[in-house]
Structure 1
Amino acid sequence: MKQLRFYFDPISPYAALAFERLPEALSGISYSVEYRPILFAALLHALGQKGPAEIEPKRQWTFRQVAWAAHQLNIPLQVPAQHPFNPLPLLRLAWACAPAGGTPNRLQVEKILRHVWRGEGADANQPERLAQLTQDLTPVRDVASEEIKEALRGATEQALELGVFGVPTIEVDGRLFWGLDSLEMLAAYLRGDPWFEQGAWEAAARPRPGVRRASH
């Protein structure tokens, strides 16, 4: 049985879609999943990048493509009233649901992601909705504690050290599979596709020095 680590932030519609699609994409494969909430904004900051929603033409395309993907996959999805929004309350809630030394389970992650992306377009951080979600999840640790803040920081730093640059990312055997559209590639790897053992994975990523933009 393969152990997968699913790195996600509820701010990402692709994370929500990949989460829903995962069981079907990996049907017939023996695996287990560890769900690891991380702060996407911290990845962007560390890598000197802007998020898709911060670049207006890219934001427009992203949500058109997300709507199309949800339609194709027959997954209900509604964009929340505000996006981007501050995901910290939801990320900390996810970690607070996990036992010390553990990670949140699939049902807990499902409720958090659906709170955002199946909330009939409501504000993900609306206080009454957050209170209801917290009551429903009954976290076992204090959401506002330093322990929980450190769990989120630690998971995000570990993800960066592994080379995670976006969400969702699934790690298995030290290999990183990024995005909704990598699920078929992940399934092929888990099913033993020989391409992964013939050096193609490594060769495709080798450096190819070329023209570099001048810094200003």
Structure 2
Amino acid sequence: MKHIDFYLDFVSPYAWLALEQMPQALEGLSYHLHFKPVLLGALLKQHANPGPAGIEPKRDWTYRHVRWLGHSTGVGLQMPTQHPFAPLPLLRLALATSHDGRINRHVARELLRHVWQGGLDPLDPVRLQALRDGLRLQHEPESEQVKAWLRANTDEAQQRGVFGVPSWWVDGQVFWGLDALPMLRAYLQGDAWFDSAEGQAPEVRNGLKS
């Protein structure tokens, strides 16, 4: 059985779409999934990447694209009243349910639904309190333990070469983005392509991938 680390941040619409599509995309395969919240902003900052929301035309396209994906897949996605937003309260709230820096699928889904269903303000205090009341907290969200787990998850992701979310890490390989799910499935099925020259990390010549 393969062990997969799934890195996510609730600010990402693609994380919501990926979470909902994973069961079907990986149906019939044997794997164990660890859900690890990370701070996307830190991953982007490491590579001086402003992210889709930092480039106006790309931001407009991304918002349109994710709404289309929500519609076309039947998952459903409504943009919150503010985006991007500071996800720290949600990341810490999720990790407050943890025993070891990981969360379960139920918690991940509740937090992502909170943001991406209904088109509301994800940081509205009343909504945040209702969300908190529905979770089984093991720690205070502002505790040093919770903050340490978030730092550790983010540091681990950076060290493993994760540069965005959603990302899956398995056997030392990173699979990034919603559209990587078919590739991840192929890897878990033992596709021989991954052992071929084409399946290895690309060489770089004159600044271009060969």
State the TM-score bracket (shorter-chain normalisation). Answer: over 0.9
Q: How does 1:1-216 map to 2 (within 5 A)?
A: 1-99=1-99, 101-118=100-117, 120-203=118-201, 205-210=202-207
Unaligned 5+ runs, structure 2: none
Q: Tell me how far apart the structure 2 counterparts of residues 81 and 22 of structure 1 sit (CA, whole Å).
A: 27
TM (normalized to structure 1)?
0.93
Deviations 1:150-170 (A, max 9, x none): 110111011001000000000
Unaligned 5+ runs, structure 1: 212-216
Shift of 1:210: 3.3
The secondary structure found in structure 1 opposite 2:93 is helix
The secondary structure found in structure 2 opposite 1:78 is coil
Q: Contact (CA 8 Å) 2:14, 2:177: kept in 1 or not?
A: yes
Moved segments of 4+, more than 3 Å: none
Number of equivalent positions: 208
TM (normalized to structure 2)?
0.96
Shift of 1:14: 0.4
Counterpart residue number, 1:214: none
Identity between Structure 1 and Structure 2 (%): 49
